Every structure is written in C-alpha cells, then in structure tokens.
Structure 1
Amino acid sequence: MRFSVFTASTPDWTPAETAAVLADQGWDGVEWRVTDQDDAPEPGFWKGNRATWPLTGLESALPAMARVTREAGLAVSGIGGYAPVSARADVERLLAATATLGAQRLRVIMPALGTGHYRELFTAARDDLAWVAERAAVHGVRAVVELHHRTIVASASAAIRLVDGLSPACVGVIHDLGNLVIEGQEDYLAAFQMLGDYLAHVHVKNAVWRAVGPGQDGSTRWREEWAPLRDGQADVAGYFEALRAHGYDGWVTVEDFSTVLPLERRLRENLAYLRRVSA
C-alpha cells in the first residue's frame, strides 16, 4: 500500500509547504483539495484552508500543482473535488485537470440527505454518474464516489447499488473508515467483497460518539467528533487486516480532522502508526 494525505486536513500550510513536510516525513503522495472556499480569519479545514487549490482558474494553476508535487518527489493519489455529480461543466473541468496531472481519480460529490426524496435523488445521481463515467473514459481517468454520512451513499450497500453496471474502469468507490463510524458501518471484509472491482481508493480517519447531555425527554443525546486514529471507535488494525485479506494494495489517504496533536506531529505519528498496522 502507498500512503498519502488529503490536504483538507493540512489547512495551516500552503501547497508547497504541505508537499515539503509530507516528503520530509516519508509519505508517498498527496491528495489535493480543489474547491472555491470561503475566507476565514484563521485557517480551517473547510474555510480559509491554505492547502486548497481554487476551482476558479484551475486550468492556469495546473503547472504549479504539477511542479509542487514533482519537486517534492510525491505522487498525486487523487483529486479531492467538491463538484456535485450533477454539475456537469465543473465535473468535466475537473476530469480534464485530473488527466493533465496524471492523478488517475477524481472524487465527485453525491446528493445530501434532506435535499429531496431519497429515491428521486438516487435515480438522478445514477443518471448523472452514468454521464460522468462516459466522460471519465474519454479522459482516461476514474470518477470515485465517497462513502459519506448523510448522503445517499453512506454505506457500501448503497454505493454498489449506485455504481453497479457502470464500468469499474471509469467509476469506483472510496471506502472511508471514519465516515462509517457516523453512518453506514458494515463488516469491513464483507464491504470490500461487496464492492469488488469498484473498490478504488481508501480514506482513513477516526471518530467517536460522545454523550452531550439529556434531551427534553430525559434521554441521552449523542454527538459525533473526529478523533485521533488510535483513539476513535473504528478498529484501524482490523480494517487493515481486512484490506490485506481482500488483496487491496492501492492508495490509502489519511484525512485526520482531530486537533489533539499539532499538525506536523499528527501527520508524523499517523504515518508511523499506519505503517505498523498495515505491515
């Protein structure tokens, strides 16, 4: 397996600074975050993230993206895009950029729950994804769908329904360990077997559920929080055991949104831990 970091989780540094730290620590690659974002007084994961490349003007930024990655001796494990699957013009641009960078895979975003009737959202997303698959084939890259809580594809079971029948060379699934703590958890090995050739990429982070006090009816209320890899509720060692049993030997991208440790130490300790549990 090869290990990379998604730059949503490195908001304090510019792309060049991020790449330099990852190279120094021994990471194999980087998964670039690409989106137009809101400004913020201080860098944050979702606003003011300094390691994000804007979608606006992306084409002119591609030489710099390639240079920063190449000079650090890293590979691009994928493009973490935020274009909805229905936003065809933006998806087309991102597919072309992915091909230019040699990044191989582009994440496309699935509809969120609550934005319509589930069956209607699912049917429309399937139609859009079929179009995306055709365009991905033209560009020679793969569009990937992330298992994500509070979307129409929170689980492997939902994702296989969405992608089944489309070419796995053009469409795949990102299995995300931490997101599944919040919603969609299934037996790891069974999920990998369910996805089969559609298992295209792996994201690793961790989370916990914490009691936040009683509700008005007196029952306990719970809230999810991101946690360090070793401290969350997901069984990271068991996850890698299942990946090995399935024969997965692709990219593993870390996106640790916990803040217990300073960023540089967090990354260094995560890499050492992942190398140990994946061996």
Structure 2
Amino acid sequence: MANQPITFSVFTKPWKSLSVWELGKFVKDLGFDGVEFPLRDGYQLEPSNAHQLPELAKQFADHGLRIFSIASSTDERVFAGCAEAGIPMIRIMPSISHELGYMESEKREREKLEALIPLCQKYGVKVGSQQHYGNHVTDSMGLLHLLDGLAPECVGAIWDSAHDALAGQQPEFGLDIVWPYLAMVNLKNAYYNRLNGPEAQNAEWKRYFTSGRQGLASWPRVANYLKQRDYNGVICLTAEYTNEHDVDRLIREDIVYAKSLFE
C-alpha cells in the first residue's frame, strides 16, 4: 500500500444525466476525495473517446477531486488514456459461463489477465478484478484463486463487502484472503429478501442492496480490520441501492457513516 491516508471514492454510475461540472460539484459537496468513473457507453465520456480522459481528470481536479479508477474495458486506448490522465486502475469483473463451467471460465479469465500484463507494465496502470454475485467470481477465495501467482503490481483484487457477505464470508477472513493483492475496498451492503411466503412450493429470493448500516456486511468490522492492518488506500462507496429513488439521500448518509468508522 502507498504511504498515504485513506481516501474515499464514489462510483458515479447513478448520475449519468449530470454534466461533468455538475457531477464534480455534487461529489465534492458529498465529501468524497475522488471518483470511480464509468467509462462506458451512455455516460459523460465513452470508451471511444478514452483519449479525452486527461481532460475529464482536469475537470474533476477543478473541484479538488481525483479519478482513482475507471470501470471500463481493457482496450489499449483505455490504458493509454488512463496513463496520460494519471488514473491508476481499471476495474473489471471476471465472468463465469454456464456453458464452459466454473474452472474453464476461470482459466479463460486468467489467460485474459495474463495477456494484459504487458499493457499494465507499458502504461503503469493496474487492472483490478472485483467479485460479484451471479455469473462472476463471487467471493474472496475465488479472487485469490484467479490471481494467485500473477504480478500484484499489475493485477489486483477489488474486495467488495456486500458481495463477499452475500457469499457467506466474514469480512476479516475475506480481506485476509485477498490481502496480498488488495488494490481497493468497495463498501456497500445487501441482504437476501424472500419474495414469497413459506406456503410456496419453491422459495424465491432476491438480493436487496441497502444502506451501509442495514445489510449482511458489517462495515464496523471491515473498518476495524483495515485499521488493524494499517490499510491506507482507496475505499470506494459504490452507491448501489435497490431503492434507486433515494440514492442521493442514502449516499450522503453512507459517506458520513463510513468516515466515522475510520476516525
């Protein structure tokens, strides 16, 4: 980890309709140090214009913010744009295919990462792999198994509190598992919500993404563990809530709560 204090980032995916200036002002007013930007089609900047990332970084810098990471593809033009803009990491989510099965899918995703290492070395930009429920690597042990043996200066683990909790992992164990590769911590929360009653022939469940205090993931336990191990990197609040109408209120509450845990 770099010798610097913890910094707080927010994934700006929910606010795609704002101009960059409006987005920067909004994020700064919330109290964040920077952002994870979705370099995806339909957002303020799209992958085809990755060469404009330096200008985007400057627009955020005008508000005193950094771009700590982007969620995007791993085309070389994206690496080049990140390098020029001083953006240190591209976030991806390795996928698992039912057709291939887990182990063959993992082999394919590892080969993709191996092929990206020359670009990481050329541009000085890391690729961060995040676990996610569903057709992805779902937990911290899966992330370690995917990354183990690869160069940690090139590829890293983005540990997500909600998805590890949904998979049944305790935060102290999950963080310890990925620690040698830990590149960023995602703070969000979720729980399983039953959609039908006990009289149903088959139970139906849905994942409900909620505020930091309410889900299966204990943010205080996450914070305590990170403090014990002197973590001093980026913590990203992903602003993912099933109740999309209250995103602005919930993210305001969550950044205050998250900061309080590290005081």
> TM-score of the superposition, structure 2-length normalised?
0.89
The AA in structure 1 aligned to 2:69 is G
Map 1:90-129; keep pairs closer than 5 Å.
90-129=74-113
Distance in 1 of aligned mates of 2:178 and 2:240 = 26
Q: Find the partner of 1:36 among 19, 32, 41.
A: 41
2:259 is aligned with 1:275? yes
1:108-167 CA-partner distances (Å, limit 9, x unpaired): 231234252222111111111111122101111111100111244211111111111111
1:211, 1:223 within 8 Å by CA — same for their partners in 2? yes
SS at match of 2:179: helix
- The aligned counterpart of 2:130 is 146
Determine which of 18, 36, 45 is the counterpart of 1:53. Answer: 45
Paired with 2:94 and 2:260, the residues of 1 have a C-alpha distance of: 33
2:58 corresponds in structure 1 to 67
Partner of 1:20: 25
Match of 1:176 in 2: 160
Q: Report the Cα distance in structure 2 between the residues aligned to 1:35 and 1:12, rounded to whole angstroms.
A: 13
What's the CA shift for 1:72? Answer: 0.8
Q: Counterparts of 1:185 and 1:93 in 2: how far apart (Å)?
A: 38
Amino acid at match of 1:8: K
Separation (CA, whole Å) in 1 of partners of 2:184 and 2:193: 29
Aligned-partner Cα distance in 2 for 1:132–1:187: 31
Q: Which SS does the other structure have where 1:220 is aligned?
A: coil
- Aligned residue for 2:177? 194
The 1-side partners of 2:204 and 2:102 are apart by 26
| 2:68 matches 1:77 | yes
Counterpart-to-counterpart distance in 2, 1:162 and 1:181: 19
Q: Using the TM superposition, give the Cα deviation of residue 202 of structure 1 relative to its aligned residue in structure 2, in angstroms.
A: 0.8
Q: Hey, what's the Cα distance between the residues in 2 that align with 1:111 and 1:67?
A: 33
Per the alignment, do residues 193 and 181 of structure 1 end up closer, same or farther by CA in structure 2, a change over 3 Å counting?
A: closer
Question: Is residue 9–residue 255 contact of structure 1 (8 Å, CA) maintained in 2?
Answer: no
Can you list the C-alpha shifts for 1:16-37, whole angstroms capped at 9, x where unaligned? Answer: 2111111123211111111124
1:162 corresponds to which residue? Answer: 146
Whole-Å Cα distance in 2 between the matches of residues 196 and 180 of structure 1? 14
TM-score (norm 1): 0.84
1:12 is displaced (CA, Å) by 4.5
**Larger mean Cα displacement after TM superposition, 69-78 or 191-200:** 191-200
The answer to whether residue 220 in structure 2 is matched with residue 237 in structure 1 is yes
- Work out the CA distance in 1 between the residues paired with 2:236 and 2:123: 23
Q: CA deviation at 1:216?
A: 8.9
AA in 1 matched with 2:127: A
Please tell me whether the aligned partners of residues 165 and 171 of structure 2 are also in contact (alpha carbons under 8 angstroms): no
- 2-structure distance, mates of 1:122, 1:260: 32
Tell me, yes or no, if the aligned pair for 1:95 and 1:139 is still in contact at 8 Å: yes
**Quick one: distance in 2 between partners of 1:223 and 1:108?**
24
Change (3 A) 1:193 1:204: same
Any idea what the Cα deviations from partners look like across 1:36-57, whole Å, max 9, x if unmatched? 24xxxxxxxxxxxx5x421122
Instruction: Give 3-state SS (helix, strand or coil) of 1:150's partner.
Output: coil
What secondary structure sits across from 1:247 in the alignment?
coil
Question: Does residue 236 of structure 2 align to residue 253 of structure 1?
Answer: yes
Whether the 8 Å contact between 1:156 and 1:191 is mirrored in structure 2 is yes
Q: Contact 1:23–1:72 (CA<8 Å) still a contact in 2?
A: yes
